[in-house]
Amino acid sequence: MSFTYRAYEVDIRRTSSDAPPIVVNDTDELVAGLREYYDGLDREAVLAVILDDINRILGIYEVSKGGISEAEVEFSNVLRPVILMGGKKVILVHNHPSGEAVPSEGDIRMAKGLFIACSLVDIELVDNVVLGSSEYRSIHLEEEFGRWITDDLPQIAGVVASGVIRREDTDEQEAGS
């Protein structure tokens, strides 16, 4: 039996530049720098800003372009360029063509899943930003995301670390405290 296949090669090249490295000190600076890309865009677009361990930008990768109300984000499409470029951190940025910077339920759900996926490969998801026409919002500062981090994530981490946590075990621990 013989197989026919195509071989693919991925090549990431670093090019030298006389320009000083750009360091992301805060979200305001990052958003100001990315506004030009998003201005006038009539569909959602998702960018991954790839950072090293001291917040220098290694690259900006277009993860996805979608329709007027959503863009599909596959976690592998976010993580692949970060890993290949040797990044330690990533900031995800996407726009809402409606002009409203309020994260949707889908945005928050995606942020939670990406947070876990990044954690599994030792990459820090620094922020997940939604751009509106005149403002932006950090999904990580949304009340629902914060509650998930403090209440639900420890449960999830326990399941990942030990296999399964039974409800009775957690109830007994809480009663004994």
The answer, yes or no, to whether residue 122 has pLDDT greater than 70, is: yes
Q: For residue 16, what is the DSSP state?
A: -
Q: Are strands 89-95 and 45-51 parallel, antiparallel or unpaired?
A: antiparallel
The answer, yes or no, to whether residue 20 has pLDDT greater than 90, is: no
The pLDDT-based confidence of 11 (bands split at 50, 70, 90) is low
Q: Render pLDDT for 102-114 as a digit per residue (tens, 0 to 9).
A: 999 999 999 999 9
CATH number of 27-140: 3.40.140.10
The residue among 143, 26, 35 whose CA lies nearest residue 91 is 26
pLDDT of residue 173: 54
Give the Cα-Cα-Cα angle 29, 76, 130 (nearest 5 degrees).
30
Cα-Cα-Cα-Cα dihedral sign, residues 157, 158, 162, 166: negative
pLDDT of residue 150: 84
Domain boundaries, the chain: 27-140, 142-177
The residue among 38, 124, 34 whose CA lies nearest residue 78 is 124
The answer, yes or no, to whether residue 66 has pLDDT greater than 80, is: yes
Span 79-91, average pLDDT = 95
pLDDT of residue 162: 54
The answer to pTM > 0.85 is no
Residue labelled with tokens 């984000």: 73
The answer, yes or no, to whether residue 85 has pLDDT greater than 70, is: yes
Span 13-18, average pLDDT = 66
Q: Render pLDDT for 132-162 as a digit per residue (tens, 0 to 9).
A: 999 999 998 888 888 888 888 777 666 555 5
The pLDDT-based confidence of 21 (bands split at 50, 70, 90) is confident
* pLDDT > 90: percent of the chain: 63
